[in-house]
Amino acid sequence: MLCALAARAALPPGLPFITFYPAVILTAYFCGLGPALVCTTLSGVAVWYAVLPSNLPATGASSAAIALILFGIVVGINLILIERMRRASDANAALAQSTRQLMVELQRETSLRMANEQLAEKTLLLDLALQAADAGTWRYCVRTGRAQLSEQMARHHGFGDQPIEIDVERDWRPRIHPDDAERTLRDLGAAIAGRTKVVTDFRVLLPDGRVRWITGLGQVETDAAGAVTAVVGLSLDITARKEAEAKIAHMACHDPLTGLANRTLFHDRLDAEIARVRRHGATFALFCLDIDRFKAVNDTHGHSVGDALLRIVAARLQAVIRTEDMLARIGGDEFVIIQTEAEQPESASALAERLIGTVEQPIELEGHTLSVSLSVGIALAPADGHDPLSLYNSADRALYRAKAQGRNTFRFAG
């Protein structure tokens, strides 16, 4: 308006309309069609009443009207084009926004689907691993003292093949070996108190009389306040491992042919008895045994018959001694016995006679009747030796005297 007023004297008639054109176009572009129409109307009115009156005598009203109409037509066309451009731009912007939102949703859906697939795969792998390891899961509620067992865990304890909820004191403790129950519950309590992991092994007494070894691994759960609410974990059946360990330990200390104690276990027991003599002044007898004519049987009938003969003799000797005594095979046809807590030398003499009597009984093997005898050397501790080596040497010398003096007899050291 200001530009039009300033230029009306210098411009030809009708040209002042041009000064309003940029204002209308900019209004339409930045503010929309409605404000542009208002701007157009106000511009026309302003021109009609403020600009044109000074030019009317020269141009006439008709020229002014034509100029105003032309101005309105041009502005109208531009407004329509600008509005369509604005709508197209808005539509494009809306489409772009929708596309971006669609891409975001698609990415989110893809990520969620991939996460679900990975979770399903991990769950499947976990289930397969639990099945392969025959592992069970459990959850112990601290407040109620009850535990939820998976079907594997229930089977481990002889509760059936379905998931079950049990009371730990009432239902679980009676199923556990008396030597393990208190310790296992103590381990659980320590983990709860210290908010740490629990790892414990225990034996389960199954209803059919079998014993199963279980290892339990658990982790505490806490609430928002930090208080322990539960312990969750796994149970693994380690019976096979425990049996293998026991077998290995047995093999390390026992003769594989006869099942008797071997040289290692014998020396451990001998050291323990010598120590007991030194502490308490007790006494015990050490026997060295040798099967007479065993080499002839072995050479004549073969090693298989010889091995069978050794097993029979070992069983006969084992049947004669007491449970508190120890019988060991230390090599070939050599055996040793430690006789404890007995009046000596009377008890040693009586045991030697029983040993000789049981071995000299005929033995039927593979269609052959075999006859062997036993020579025995006896040393008394501490009279015949204050240390394991000297005591054993005394008994061994007594054995050779018995063999030299006719065999099938016994002799004391000294």
Q: Average pLDDT, whole number, for the chain? A: 82
Residue 37 lies in a domain: no
Q: In 231-367, which ranges are continuous DSSP H helix?
A: 239-253, 263-280, 294-301, 303-320, 346-359
Instruction: Indicate if 234 and 260 belong to the same structural domain.
Output: no
Q: In 133-172, which ranges are continuous DSSP H helix?
A: 151-156
Instruction: Indicate if 364 and 393 belong to the same structural domain.
Output: yes
pTM of the model: 0.58
Instruction: Indicate if 371 and 306 belong to the same structural domain.
Output: yes
Count the helix, strand and coil residues of the chain and give each as a percent rounded to the nearest 5: 60, 20, 20
Cβ-in-10-Å burial (0-12, 13-18, 19+) of 16 comes to: buried
276: nearest Cα among 386, 414, 389:
386
Residue that terminates a domain, selected from 210, 239, 268: 239
Q: Alpha-carbon distance 176 to 205, whole Å?
A: 6
Instruction: Indicate if 188 and 305 belong to the same structural domain.
Output: no
Q: For the residues 84-90, what does the mean pLDDT come to?
A: 74
Give the per-residue pLDDT at 98: 80
Q: For the residues 377-387, what does the mean pLDDT come to?
A: 93
Residue that terminates a domain, selected from 191, 208, 239: 239
Greater pLDDT, 180 or 129: 180
pLDDT, tens digit, 9 for 90 and up, residues 108-156: 777 777 766 665 555 445 454 445 556 788 899 999 999 999 888 888 8
pLDDT, tens digit, 9 for 90 and up, residues 363-378: 988 888 888 999 999 9
Give the per-residue pLDDT at 11: 54
pLDDT, tens digit, 9 for 90 and up, residues 303-315: 889 999 999 999 9
Q: For the ranges 65-79, 141-155, 167-181, 219-233, which has the lowest average pLDDT? A: 65-79
CB 390 within 8 A of CB 382: no
- pLDDT > 80? residue 334: yes
Give the per-residue pLDDT at 63: 56
Residue 65 lies in a domain: no
- Measured in whole angstroms, how far is the alpha carbon of residue 133 from the centre of its chain? 10
Give the per-residue pLDDT at 30: 66
- pLDDT > 70? residue 9: no
CB 221 within 8 A of CB 230: yes
Give the per-residue pLDDT at 393: 96
- pLDDT > 90? residue 16: no
The band of 411, judged by pLDDT with boundaries at 50, 70 and 90, is very high
Is 127 one of the catalytic residues?
A: no
Instruction: Indicate if 288 and 162 belong to the same structural domain.
Output: no
- pLDDT > 80? residue 41: no
Q: For the residues 95-99, what does the mean pLDDT come to?
A: 82
Residue 73 lies in a domain: no
Q: For the residues 63-79, what does the mean pLDDT come to?
A: 63
- pLDDT > 70? residue 52: no
Give the per-residue pLDDT at 224: 87
Give the per-residue pLDDT at 126: 47
Quote the number of domains for the chain: 2
Q: What residue type is assigned to position 200 of the chain?
A: T
Give the per-residue pLDDT at 265: 94
CATH number at residue 150: 3.30.450.20
Residue 137 lies in a domain: yes
pLDDT, tens digit, 9 for 90 and up, residues 192-211: 999 888 899 999 999 888 99
Instruction: Indicate if 287 and 392 belong to the same structural domain.
Output: yes
Instruction: Indicate if 186 and 279 belong to the same structural domain.
Output: no
Instruction: Indicate if 171 and 287 belong to the same structural domain.
Output: no
Residue 68 lies in a domain: no
Residue 348 lies in a domain: yes
CATH number at residue 281: 3.30.70.270
Q: Which of 333, 384, 387, 396 is catalytic?
A: 333
Instruction: Indicate if 223 and 329 belong to the same structural domain.
Output: no
CB 241 within 8 A of CB 213: yes
Instruction: Indicate if 165 and 287 belong to the same structural domain.
Output: no
Instruction: Indicate if 261 and 395 belong to the same structural domain.
Output: yes
The band of 235, judged by pLDDT with boundaries at 50, 70 and 90, is confident
Residues of the domain holding 166:
133-239
Instruction: Indicate if 276 and 157 belong to the same structural domain.
Output: no
Residue 230 lies in a domain: yes
Residue that terminates a domain, selected from 175, 205, 239: 239
Residue 286 lies in a domain: yes
The band of 20, judged by pLDDT with boundaries at 50, 70 and 90, is low
Give the per-residue pLDDT at 58: 47
Give the per-residue pLDDT at 258: 93
